[in-house]
Amino acid sequence: MLIITRWRTTNEGVIVQARPEVIDLIKDYYTALEANKPDAYGGYYAEDMTLTFGNSPTVHGRANVVASFGILGRVRSLRHDLLNIWEENGGQVIIECISHWRLPDDTLLSIPAMTIFTIDGGGKITDQRIFVDNAPLAEALEVV
């Protein structure tokens, strides 16, 4: 389950702003992803969507993007704590989160990440760029 753990106002130095429907879309998307339901989270993607995950090559097309999340089958669970969300003109939505990966041996890894989404006028994700260092996760999965 996605948990919004912190809201800050401009007088605390961080601007957190997004329309409620955008926040709901992001929360619902992550709920589907965390449930590892490819048909559900794939439904948020435009057919010609692109995904760039860290320094990996960009993945093109909904089916290929869905397939790229195969790592979800190698962990017990994934949960995101949404820390901040910013919505910009042109459909760009930037989130800061902590990803909590529960490994098969019940180890919990918590890794900070930033993601930039581009969302079209119909509410479909057309581009997703994830900025994260998942080296600890990759290392742990090699051992498990």
What CATH number is associated with residue 31? Answer: 3.10.450.50
pLDDT of 97 = 94
Domain hosting residue 124, numbered range = 3-143
Alpha helices in the chain (DSSP H): 20-34, 38-42, 62-68, 135-143
Domain count, the chain: 1
- The tens digit of pLDDT for each residue in 59-68 reads 999 999 999 9
Mean pLDDT of 63-88: 93
Mean of per-residue pLDDT scores for the chain = 88
* Region class of 91: left (phi > 0), else alpha (psi between -120 and 50), else beta: left
pLDDT of 77 = 95
